[in-house]
Amino acid sequence: MRSNPEASWGLKLAALGGLLFLHVPILIIFLYTLTPDETTYTFPLPGITFKWFGVAWQREDLWRALTLSFQVAAVATVAALILGTLAAAAVYRSNFFGREAISFLLILPIALPGIVTGIALRTAIGGFDIPFSFWTIVIGHATFCVVVVYNNVLARFRRMQGSQIEASMDLGANSIQTFRYVILPNIATALLAGGMLAFALSFDEVIVTTFTAGQQSTLPIWIFSQLVRPRDRPVTNVVAMFVMLITFVPIFLAQRLSAQNSDTEGETK
């Protein structure tokens, strides 16, 4: 591969500035988990302590919220994987009337402000006298998770050779076999990437959740209530750091995976 031309210093600086702006604020939270100051956000920190990690670990309400968030995200992701893949397959394989409308419909939940989805679902759910529960949270989350999987899978389908599927069918494989041995390996990383993104979206979603949750609180709802009425500032810092770290590992792995995948694709060209 030919080496790239050099970027100008101005461009490099601007790019670096953007990058720092994206990441430095999070590090500030990490710093504040060590503050002994319970009531203000004084900087420089008046001292250093590690006791808040222990305090957070003991909190029952945090564990409940964490468990709920995990369960909701898992179920919403599975639903999104199924619905998103089906929609992507339909849009990819045939050219039918209203195909554009489907992309449009699927993108609406993330294109429209979250509060619209939230209040619409709340009004509808309330109108049918359905109790707000685990499942109402999942229903809300699935609406905006579908499009993420759909986009990822559809993009992969478009890069895939259609002739592979035909060849498989010509060689006598049935639909299920073709899906298992030809399509699935091709879209596996797209599914993984889409699934991870859907999971992360659901795990940290707060806007729609405030409308579709009943009494239970997910981890983001817990944090939000702390932001509105700060009662446990140091514990909130620890939880915030924990949320960052727990989403970091799987997202990072999925990213590496799909990056490697596109690298190899680039080499064969």
Partner 1 sequence: MLNRASTYLYRRPRLALALLLGPPMMYMVVVYLGSLFNLLVYSFYSLEGFTGLIVRKFTLSTYAQLFEPANLDIFKRTTMMAAAVTFADALIAFPLAYYTAKFASPRLKTWLVIAITMPLWSSYLVRVYAWKLILAQEGILSWFINLLHLDGVLNWLLGFESIGGSSLALSPIGLFIVFVYIWLPYMILPVLTSLERVPKSLLEASGDLGAKPLQTFRAVILPLAFPGVVAGSIFTFSLTLGDFIAPIVLGNSKFFIGMAVYSYQGTAGNIPLAAAMTMGPIVIMIVYLLLARRLGAFDAL
* DSSP per position, 112-127: S-HHHHHHHHHHHHHH
Q: What is the C-alpha separation between 204 and 131, in angstroms, rounded?
A: 23
Instruction: Indicate whether 23 belongs to the interface with partner 1 (CB under 8 A).
Output: yes
Residue number with CB closer to partner 1 (51 or 93): 93
Applying CB under 8 A, which of residues 4, 163, 264, 268 lies at the interface with partner 1? 4
Residues 6+ away with beta carbon under 8 Å from 268 = none
Residues 6+ away with beta carbon under 8 Å from 263 = none
**Contact stretch for partner 1 (CB under 8 A) within 1-9, 56-64, 70-78, 181-189:** 1-9
Applying CB under 8 A, which of residues 70, 191, 204, 216 lies at the interface with partner 1? 204
The number of angstroms, rounded, from the C-alpha of 40 to the middle of its chain's C-alpha atoms is 32
Residues 6+ away with beta carbon under 8 Å from 90 = 102
Give residue 115's identity as a one-letter amino acid code: I
Q: What is the C-alpha separation between 89 and 150, in angstroms, rounded?
A: 9
Q: What is the C-alpha separation between 237 and 49, in angstroms, rounded?
A: 13
| DSSP code of residue 58 | T
Least distance in angstroms from the C-beta of 50 to partner 1: 18
Size of the site for partner 1 (CB under 8 A): 98
**Contact stretch for partner 1 (CB under 8 A) within 48-56, 57-65, 76-84, 184-192:** 76-84
For residue 6, count CB atoms less than 10 angstroms from its CB and return exposed for 0-12, middle for 13-18, buried for 19 or more: exposed
Q: What angle do CA 110, 128, 115 make, to 5 degrees?
A: 25
Applying CB under 8 A, which of residues 38, 51, 63, 90 lies at the interface with partner 1? 90
x/- map, 53-72, partner 1, by CB under 8 A: --------------------
Span 97-156, contacts to partner 1 by CB under 8 A = 102-117, 119-124, 127, 139, 142-143, 146, 150-151
**Contact stretch for partner 1 (CB under 8 A) within 50-58, 70-78, 183-191, 220-228:** 220-228
Residue number with CB closer to partner 1 (39 or 58): 39
Residue number with CB closer to partner 1 (71 or 224): 224
Instruction: Indicate whether 227 belongs to the interface with partner 1 (CB under 8 A).
Output: yes
Residue number with CB closer to partner 1 (143 or 189): 143
Least distance in angstroms from the C-beta of 188 to partner 1: 19
